[in-house]
Structure 1
Amino acid sequence: MAPPDDMFGDDDYPAYTMGRAAEITGASQDFLRRLDEAKLFTPFRSAGGHRRYSRHQLRLAARAREMVDQGTALEAACRIITLEDQLQEALRENDRLQRRQQSETS
């Protein structure tokens, strides 16, 4: 496990219980379970088997709730969000590689 100082800035650290995650996202606990079933993300599990959510997962859950509230089917919302998330990651990686290439040619 990472030292406490490293966990504060870690978007992937599973810091939130299901109850707190539901409260933060404004979604029900059942909705969070359905996101897991729809494979939007897989929550971490505590030693006791309880679901734990990261800030990144909470942002995805909040986006899914927003889309479903606007009438998008859950499965479609999850697919759209997954694709948006993959695109953002690819853009970040592309940016990182371009910066590295520029620093190597400088």
Structure 2
Amino acid sequence: MTADNAHGRLDDDDYPAYTTGRAADMLGTTQGFLRALGDARLITPLRSAGGHRRYSRYQLRIAARARELVDQGTPIDAACRIIVLEDQLEEAQRINAAHHRTAEVANPTAAA
């Protein structure tokens, strides 16, 4: 990978740019908390060539939401389940909105 290609990937939300230590620092949590999220299968960090965990910005957003819930007193396993359900709800709402847009294009008089 050239330097230009690597630089362009930093804008990619799924690019595993952050080490466990850096990710924990950014979230104000411990490395153990991030490992616990991996153990709970909420996030699965990619591994570097040397076997070290690497996190993407997308994964850090999920971890931040988990930390928010845990800080409010939610057990980590319940926090992970809540996040999965929130994600499923968001996806269902996105699909529903797309179906409504398709229906409006197919039958504009019915939408009025």
Tell me the equivalent position of 2:60.
58
**Partner amino acid, structure 2, of 1:83:** L
Q: CA RMSD in A?
A: 2.4
Deviation at 1:92, TM superposition (A): 3.8
C-alpha contact (below 8 Å) 2:10/2:17 kept by paired residues: no
**Relative contact order, higher structure (CA 8 A, sep 6+):** 1
Between the aligned residues of both structures, percent identity stands at 63
Out of 39-48 and 78-87, give the one that drifted further.
Answer: 78-87
Q: What is the aligned length?
A: 104
Unaligned runs of 5+ in 1: none
Give matches, 1:10-89, under 5 Å: 10-89=12-91
TM-score normalised by the chain length of structure 1 = 0.81
**Partner amino acid, structure 1, of 2:27:** T
Instruction: Pick closer, same or farther for the CA change 1:90–1:44 going to 2, 3 Å.
Output: farther
TM-score normalised by the chain length of structure 2 = 0.77
C-alpha contact (below 8 Å) 1:32/1:61 kept by paired residues: yes
Deviation at 1:91, TM superposition (A): 3.5
Unaligned runs of 5+ in 2: 107-112
Deviation at 1:27, TM superposition (A): 1.1
Deviation at 1:33, TM superposition (A): 0.3
In the alignment, the residues of structure 2 paired with residue 70 and residue 24 of structure 1 have an alpha-carbon distance, to the nearest angstrom, of 19
* Segments ≥4 residues shifted beyond 4 Å: 93-99
In the alignment, the residues of structure 1 paired with residue 92 and residue 16 of structure 2 have an alpha-carbon distance, to the nearest angstrom, of 23
